[in-house]
Amino acid sequence: MTNIFDNALETLKTTLIQNVEIPVVYVHAGQRYEIQASRGNINWGTLNRLGDVTLGENFRDYIIRVELLNFIPQNGDLIIDGSDTFEAFAESTGQKCYRYSDPQKELFRIYTRRIKR
């Protein structure tokens, strides 16, 4: 039996596909994949000398439909978005560079940092 959340997920996926996704190149294990992704954001930042958190534009997450990748994202994978290149990374050692964005595990949220502008 479907519930309101299942219907909402389908609406979200349709909206992403039709209105939000952009073409990117995903590089995994030396292979390039031309796929669609949605840009997200991360509220991570760095501390300045005064101890204040400075939110940086160098961090971005990407939402990618699991069906578009035939592998699990790994630290060090690259996402080329226009002239910018982002590297998948985990915030701390031993963690993954992604999480699932939905209970059905149909959407990856991949954490990245800009390495080339």
User: What is the reported pLDDT for 97?
Assistant: 95
Res. 114: pLDDT tops 80: yes
Q: Which residue has the tokens 């978005």?
A: 81
pLDDT at 103: 85
Task: Convert the pLDDT of each residue in 60-94 to its tens digit.
Answer: 999 999 999 999 999 999 999 999 999 999 877 88
Q: Is 80 exceeded by the pLDDT of residue 8?
A: no
pTM higher than the cut 0.95: no
